[in-house]
Each structure stands twice: as C-alpha cells, then as structure tokens.
Chains A and B, each alone.
Chain A
C-alpha cells in the first residue's frame, strides 16, 4: 500500500528504474533468443562447410588416399547400419559413398555414388548433401563446361543411358570432374553391390571440454568397426568449434556487462530515492517503524519493480528478437520461437537482482538516525 502510493507519487524515479531493469531484461531475452538463433544459424553454416569425418577401410594406403583423394579399398555398406545402430555415437549426417575412376569421353572422371543421409539418433535433420534420383546424374562443373552439357541432356555411363538432372556450380576442387549418381545405381553399374569406399560424417560438438574429438571418435570406431579407420578434416572441425566458442564467449561477456550496468543504475536510483525520502524515513522511525519495516519499504518496491520489469522486458525482448532475428538470420530466423522458460527466469532473476541492487540503499535507510534527520530542520 505505502509502496504503491509512493511509486505513484514519485513516478519518475520508478519509471527510470523500470527503464533500467526493463532494458536489462529485454536485452537478456532478445540476446538469448538471438543467440539461440545464431547458434542454429552457425550450426547450419558451419555444417555446410562439408563433412569433416571420413571413415575408410583400415587397409587403406594412406599415401595413396591423400594422392588420389579417396580410398581404393572398399568395405561393406552394412557398416553404415552398424554405425547408426550404436548408442551414443558421436557422428551425425552419415552417408555412404562409392568412388570409382573411369575413362569417359577420353578423360578420367570420378563416378561418385551417394546414399541418403542417416542420423544415429533417429532425429530428422536437414540433409547436408543433395540426393540423386535413380536414372539421373549430377555433373561436375568442369565436365559440363568441357562437353557443353545441360540439364536434360543424356549421357552414357558404362553402357547405361543417364539423364543429367543438374550441372554443378564451380567448386575449384576435384568435385568439378565428378559425376554423381544414386549409390545403389552406381553399385549395380559397376557390379559392386553392397560396396562403398567411404562413410562420410560430421562430428557432433557435444563432447566435454578437454576431450580430443578425434581420439574419442577413434575409440568409438575401434569398438564398433575395428576394420575401419577415421580421418578428420581438422580445419573444418576447428572452424566449427571456434565459431561456436566465439558466439558463447561473446554473449557470456556482453550480457553480464549490460546487466551489471543496469543494476548499478537501479542501485543509484534507489540511493537517490533514499536521499529524497530522508525526512520521511526519520518520521517513520520516530513513529516506531523498526529498521526492518523501513528496509521492507525499499525492498518490496524493488521486488515490484523487478516483476513489472520482467514482464515488460520479456515482451520487449521478444519483439526485438522477432523483429531483427529473421533479418539477421536468413536460414533459421523464421524458425525462432517464444521461449517461455525465459519468462520464468526473468520473473525470478529480475526481482532478485533489483532487490540486490537496492539492498545497500535499503540498509542505509533502515539504519538512519532519526534524531540526526529531524534535528537538522
């Protein structure tokens, strides 16, 4: 009652404090929502850098592997099933691949069969790689340019006529001289049923800090498929990890600074409020209010301030996140959702922080000497 009346009387002090705390909450909510969207966006973008794990036969001559770009040794395609059925596997987006070099139109090309992607968790994830419909091929940029091939044209591969579904964009890598087919179709063409050269994957960034991912993946693979080995493209893997760390570090640095500044603001306003109310405190004490009663006047005000600020800040934070999110994050921006747990956190944290910021002014008020205040007049 007293608190409400005082707030209505000294509106500007309350509004300024509400502004400070509301800004802190809204920045927390919007930053958090945007950081989640940024994480998802980063996952997608770094994931699109390509597979960073290649599982190949243990018999592979690694010198040859690096020279040719793939393993000449094949392994059963069933390995893929064995991998995805293993619990807690740290691999994602698994896809089986068969490479085979042939001479086509007097030129060496790499036929590449790709299987659909599988997720060990059974979760549906957006595929990283395209899939080729049986009876069609995707043709590399260099080959398409060299032989003037267009989508819809037909080519002959190992005596079978195939239709070009797509000509690939230039990559500046060996991809430009590859012809992509659906895996089982290529296996039939080459009479290599159930054989693959490699299983591509991406490692999940879910390992505890300090664990070397490649060592951990090798241990897992040793347990599931001892006849294989795994090679990691550390450049891609490190880029993914660093990018995620950068985001986490950014928010863990920026957010506390903003919240701290806002809380100092609330504390200073509470101090101004205490000074403004010195005479009032003096008379309350003269009338028999205990220090606790005086402190409660300020603390309960800060609690009320925190509750109102958390509600306003949550609304404002979401408005900001939903206004700017889709503009910033082109891939995942539209999938942003209101996170109600942030409301509960705000309702818990904002009153608590406001109370902490007001604690010193409240204690100073409660222990003011009424005789000193009243004698000064």
Chain B
C-alpha cells in the first residue's frame, strides 16, 4: 500500500543543511494501523507530509499503490491526494465559518465531486455528531472538533488516512474514542498512519515504529 525507500528530507537554512528526515524505509500494507513514535523535531510530521504527497523528499522514493507519487506533476498529485488520502491534524484545521455538515462535506465545494450526503449522515451518527450538524467549530468541544475532522477525512473512504498527533489536544476519553474510530477504520479495510508521541496510542496500532533524528 505505502512504500518508503530510503526517504530523507534536507532543509537548507542560512547555508546550513538540516536533516529533518534521514533515510527512512517503511512498508505499510492495506488494513494496517501504524503508530510512528518520536520526540518533537524527530521528523514525524515531515514524514507524514511526505507520504501525503505534499512534501517532496530530498532523496528516496515514496510509492502509494505502487505509484511513485513524486513523479506526478503538481495537479496530478493534488488530485491523487484528493482521491486517495484523508488527513487528520492535531489542531483539527476545521474551517471556522462553516458548520459541521459543511466542514465534513468540504470536498463538495469542488464541483467534480459526487454526492456524499448519505455517507455524511451515517458517519455523523457513528461519531455521535448528529446533534451538532449546524454548529460551527467555535461551538464544539475539542473532542467534537476532532470527530468532525475524522468524519471529513473518512467521508470519501480514502484508502489511506494520515493522522498527525490526532490525540494531542484531547483528554483521555476523547483520545480513546478517536483512536478507536481509527482502529475501526482499518478493520473495515482502510489504512492509517499516525504519528504521535503518546505511547499509549500504540495499543490501538497493528504496527509501530520509532524514529529519532
């Protein structure tokens, strides 16, 4: 499903080279739930964005479904991301002026997309958001916000969900719920790669990896 071969990222800052990610190898199969652990600054987010077709590695090869995503041009890569990858972030990144329904269905703003109303309804019921559909993010709790972000990521049933510290801003109960949803997602055939420094999250993962830079 996802294959990283000696992937690294080097940033240049004031004539200095900073190795954000050093020669990472990773093989992720469909249905797996990967927890990538590491301290702050270890390159976890850089690795996730690289897998998410948003950050070209300085070297190495990133393949998703046997396709080297960085051989695609910008437009193709954006479309690839739209069709195949869902994102969840620590800071939720919900659109502040849209309500829950609109945030989940944000893809609908792109005309070419299909109709996901029934999928949205069943997801919000499943995530316990059905009574919050017309609320804006500012009116939601942190746990609810992250569930909205989950619903947004899962709506189109992407093959791969990339989660960057999804429990970083949540209490224990909400963290447990989010991790459970992600685990359920992998059980239904999806693949999840999550970066976290919360070791307890590893219990939900099928595979773990520790990166240190």
Tell me which of A8, A287, A291, A370 contacts B106 (CB under 8 A).
A287
Tell me which of A279, A280, A371 contacts B55 (CB under 8 A).
A371
Known interface pairs A288-B83, A288-B110, A290-B75. Does A5 touch B90 (Cβ–Cβ under 8 Å)? no
Chain A min CB distance to B86 (Å) = 9
Query: In the docked arrangement, what's the CA distance between A8 and B102, Å?
Result: 15
Do B93 and A279 touch across chains, with their CB atoms under 8 A apart?
Answer: yes
Do B49 and A375 touch across chains, with their CB atoms under 8 A apart?
Answer: yes
Instruction: List the B side residues contacting A8 at CB < 8 Å.
Output: 97
Known interface pairs A1-B109, A371-B49, A375-B46. Does A290 touch B93 (Cβ–Cβ under 8 Å)? no
Chain B min CB distance to A91 (Å) = 64
- Whether A153 is near chain B, meaning CB under 8 Å from some CB there, is no
Interface 0/1 of B95-117, CB less than 8 Å to A: 11110001000110110000000
**Which A residue's beta carbon lies closest to that of B113?**
A288
- Whether A223 is near chain B, meaning CB under 8 Å from some CB there, is no
Known interface pairs A5-B98, A288-B83, A371-B49. Does A283 touch B93 (Cβ–Cβ under 8 Å)? yes
Instruction: List the A side residues contacting B164 at CB < 8 Å.
Output: 374
Query: In the docked arrangement, what's the CA distance between A55 and B79, Å?
Result: 81
Tell me which of B90, B95, B98, B107 contacts A288 (CB under 8 A).
B107
Do A5 and B89 touch across chains, with their CB atoms under 8 A apart?
Answer: no
A 234-289 contacts with B by CB, 8 A: 279-280, 282-289
Do B97 and A9 touch across chains, with their CB atoms under 8 A apart?
Answer: yes
B 31-61 contacts with A by CB, 8 A: 45-46, 49, 52, 54-55
Do B54 and A286 touch across chains, with their CB atoms under 8 A apart?
Answer: yes
- Whether B65 is near chain A, meaning CB under 8 Å from some CB there, is no
Do A2 and B46 touch across chains, with their CB atoms under 8 A apart?
Answer: no
Do B97 and A374 touch across chains, with their CB atoms under 8 A apart?
Answer: no
Number of interface residues of B (CB under 8 A): 29
Chain B min CB distance to A289 (Å) = 7
Instruction: List the B side residues contacting A209 at CB < 8 Å.
Output: none
Chain B min CB distance to A13 (Å) = 12
Do A287 and B75 touch across chains, with their CB atoms under 8 A apart?
Answer: no
- Whether A377 is near chain B, meaning CB under 8 Å from some CB there, is yes
Do B49 and A374 touch across chains, with their CB atoms under 8 A apart?
Answer: yes
Do A287 and B107 touch across chains, with their CB atoms under 8 A apart?
Answer: yes
Do A2 and B82 touch across chains, with their CB atoms under 8 A apart?
Answer: no
- Whether B132 is near chain A, meaning CB under 8 Å from some CB there, is no
Query: In the docked arrangement, what's the CA distance between A285 and B52, Å?
Result: 11
Do A293 and B110 touch across chains, with their CB atoms under 8 A apart?
Answer: yes
Known: A2-B109, A8-B97. 19 other contacts (CB 8 A): A1-B109, A5-B98, A280-B95, A280-B96, A283-B87, A283-B93, A283-B95, A284-B106, A289-B78, A289-B110, A291-B74, A293-B109, A370-B54, A371-B49, A374-B54, A375-B46, A375-B55, A377-B90, A377-B91
13 A–B contacts from the bound complex (CB under 8 Å): A6-B97, A279-B93, A284-B106, A287-B82, A287-B107, A288-B81, A290-B75, A291-B74, A370-B54, A371-B54, A371-B55, A374-B93, A375-B49
- A residues adjacent to B (C-beta < 8 A): 1-2, 5-6, 8-10, 279-280, 282-291, 293, 370-371, 374-375, 377
